[in-house]
Structure 1
Amino acid sequence: MDQLLMNAAQQLENQLDSELQKLDNLTVDDIDSIREKRLKEMKARQDKIIIWKNNGHGEYSELADEKEFFEVSKKSENIVVHFYRESTERCKIVDKHLKILASKHIETKFCKVNAEKCPFLTQRLRIKVIPSIALIKDSKTKDYIIGFTDLGNCDDFSTDMMEWRIAQSGAIEYNGDLLTPPDEKKRQTYYNKNKTIRGKTYDSDSDDGLDD
């Protein structure tokens, strides 16, 4: 075991030495080239932001009908659309989280559709449970968040948890750990701190009956 640790440490040291050598060998032209490339990337990003804002990104809005949805689909590469119903209380919980995420992820269009007013779209996207969230990337529906099953089967999941679940589809830019749910990390931290288990991570509640 000691030998393995020594080998791993040596490998890491060699990698660091290699990176430092590359930095030491940079010329003035190399630095200027890197700076110019970075400036171009920043300008391209800024241009995208302007386009996104013009297309309504940065806000959580309601689409009036199917026609508006298809118009949005033509303009936005990444779309998170919440299918809701006025009488379903859990839809208000979804609204709260998506409103926060809309302002954070300007690269994505966040919107909602009244499932009862848009039956054609609801049927086309095979929406059967309310609330449901369709995750669209490059004009293709990549994934669905159906009810709260993937969010911990509870009503008090965090916005971070919703963000993490959406990120699984690639519909938003995400730099966190895609393998471990944020709320799972919080539970693990709480457990380690208190040295006791206060309950299961997930319960068996389901939203399958919400469309009744």
Structure 2
Amino acid sequence: MEQVLQQVAQTVERQLDNELDRLDALDNSDLEAIRQQRIAEMKQRAKQKQEWLAMGHGEYSELSDEKEFFTVCNKSENVVCHFYRDDTPRCRIVDKHLRILAARHVETRFVKLNVERAPFLTARLKVRIIPTIMLIKGNKTTDFIVGFTELGNRDDFTTEILEWRIARSQVVEYSGDLTVPPAEAKKQRALNIQAKKAVRGRADSDSDLDSD
């Protein structure tokens, strides 16, 4: 285990050293070009965010009927739609998490639709288990999250695991590792930190020996 920790730490340090070397090689004109590009990207992002908010992004809203569902899908590139029923307690759990994610991911429209108001759509999409979360990109259904099976099959799943599952269908922007669930990724980060501390500790011990 100690050898594995050391190898992980060395790999991370090499990557950091390579990035620092790349930055040191840039001259002032390169840095200014990067700065101007970054400013332009930030302005474009801010403009895009305002457009998203104007379309109802940033909030978790309820659709009145099937017609509104199709209107939303035509306007927004990324849509997360929760098919629910009032008498299903698990739907309220989904509501709680999607409300958080709607505020976190303004690039995506988060909505809910009562299956009793959408009989045609429910039958066409073969929505049989409630809750069902439909993931839509470019006005095309890309995936479904049916029940809680993929969320640990438990009612107390985290917002992060649902976010990760949605991100795997590329319907929200995600900076983490899509191949590893967030809980496992957290363990790996802790392992990396432990490895780096172990390497630094040995380096400090060697320095003390040299001084002696």
Q: What's the CA shift string for 1:67-103, capped at 9, x where partnerless?
A: 1111111111110000001111111111111011111
What root-mean-square deviation, in Å, do the aligned CA atoms of Structure 1 and Structure 2 show? 2.6
**Where does 1:76-115 land on structure 2 (aligned, <5 Å)?**
76-115=76-115
1:21 is displaced (CA, Å) by 4.1
**In structure 2, do the counterparts of structure 1 residues 21 and 157 end up closer, same or farther at CA, with 3 Å as the change threshold?**
closer
Aligned to 1:117: 117
Are the aligned partners of 1:58 and 1:102 in contact in 2 as well (CA < 8 Å)?
A: yes
Q: In 2, distance between residues paired with 1:20 and 1:156?
A: 42
* Larger relative contact order (CA 8 Å, sep ≥ 6): 2
Q: Is the 8 A contact 2:102 2:108 kept in 1?
A: yes
Go from structure 1 to structure 2 and tell me whether the alpha carbon gap of 1:16 and 1:133 turns closer, same or farther (over 3 Å shift): closer
Q: Which amino acid aligns with 2:43?
A: K
Question: In the alignment, does 2:59 pair up with 1:59?
Answer: yes
Tell me if the contact between 2:73 and 2:139 (Cα under 8 Å) persists in the aligned partners: yes
**Residues 16 and 158 (structure 1), Cα distance of their counterparts in 2 relative to 1, 3 Å cut:** closer
Counterpart of 1:161 in structure 2 is 161
List gaps (5 residues or longer) in structure 2: 189-212
Q: 1:48 corresponds to which residue?
A: 48
Question: Which deviates the most, 116-125 or 162-171?
Answer: 116-125
Scaled by the length of structure 1, what TM-score is found?
A: 0.77
Contact 1:157–1:183 under 8 Å retained in 2: no
Q: State the Cα distance separating 1:186 from its structure 2 match.
A: 7.6
3-state SS of 1:170 partner = coil
- Give CA-to-partner distance per residue, 1:124-149, whole Å, 9 cap, x none: 22211111000111111111000011
Counterpart mapping for 1:2-17 below 5 A: 13=14
Q: State the match for 2:195 in structure 1.
A: none
**Deviation at 1:23?**
2.5
Q: Alpha carbons of 1:62 and 1:162: their partners in 2 closer, same or farther (altered >3 Å)?
A: same
1:181-211 CA-partner distances (Å, limit 9, x unpaired): 23556899xxxxxxxxxxxxxxxxxxxxxxx
User: Does 173-182 or 46-55 show the bigger shift?
Assistant: 173-182
Number of matched pairs: 183
User: What residue is the counterpart of 1:174 in the other structure?
Assistant: 174
Give the CA deviation at 1:26: 1.9
The one-letter amino acid paired with 1:113 is L
**1:128-167 alignment to 2 at 5 Å?**
128-167=128-167
2:197 maps to none
For normalisation by structure 2, the TM-score amounts to 0.77
Question: How far did 1:115 drift?
Answer: 0.6
C-alpha contact 1:102 1:108 (8 A) present in aligned 2: yes
Q: Percent of pairs identical after alignment?
A: 57
Per-residue deviation, 1:22:
3.3
